[in-house]
Structure 1
Amino acid sequence: MFKESKKKLSAPVTDTLLANGTSFEGTIEAEANIRIDGHFQGDIRSTRTVVIGETAVVHSDIIARDIVLAGKVFGSITTEGRLTITSTGELYGNSAAAALVISEGGVLNGTSQMIRTKETEPLSPANGSSEESLSRSGETDKGNSQAPLHSEAG
Structure 2
Amino acid sequence: MFSKKKAKLNPNATDTLVGEGTIFDGKIVSEAGVRIEGQVTGGIDCQGDVAVGENGVVKSSISAREVTIAGAVHGNVTAKGKLTILASGKLFGNTNAASFIIEEGGIFQGVSKMAAASVREEEARAAGRQAESQPASIVPPGERTVVF
Normalised by the length of structure 1, the TM-score is 0.69
Partner secondary structure for residue 24 of structure 2: strand
The CA distance in 1 between the partners of 2:67 and 2:18, in whole Å, is: 16
Partner of 1:49: 49
Partner of 1:112: 112
Which runs of no fewer than 5 residues in structure 1 stay unpaired?
1-11, 121-148
After superposition, the C-alpha distances for 1:23-53 in whole angstroms (9 at most, x for unaligned) are: 0100000001100000110000000000000
**Residues 32-111 of structure 1 aligned to structure 2 (within 5 Å):** 32-111=32-111
2:145 equivalent among 120, 134, 150: 150
The CA distance in 2 between the partners of 1:13 and 1:105, in whole Å, is: 28
Residue type matched to 2:97 in 1?
A
Which runs of no fewer than 5 residues in structure 2 stay unpaired?
1-11, 121-143
Partner secondary structure for residue 88 of structure 2: coil
| Contact 2:61–2:76 (8 Å) recurs in 1 | yes
Q: Structure 1 segments of 4 or more deviating over 6 A?
A: none
Partner of 2:27: 27
Alpha-carbon distance, 1:106 to partner: 0.5
After superposition, the C-alpha distances for 1:46-94 in whole angstroms (9 at most, x for unaligned) are: 0000000000111010000000000000000001100010000000000
| Contact 1:66–1:83 (8 Å) recurs in 2 | yes
Partner of 2:17: 17
* Identity value in percent: 42
Residue type matched to 2:71 in 1?
G
Normalised by the length of structure 2, the TM-score is 0.71
Q: CA RMSD for the aligned pairs?
A: 1.8
Partner secondary structure for residue 15 of structure 1: strand
Indicate how the Cα distance of structure 1 residues 95 and 119 shifts in structure 2: closer, same or farther if over 3 A, else same.
Answer: closer
Alpha-carbon distance, 1:13 to partner: 4.4
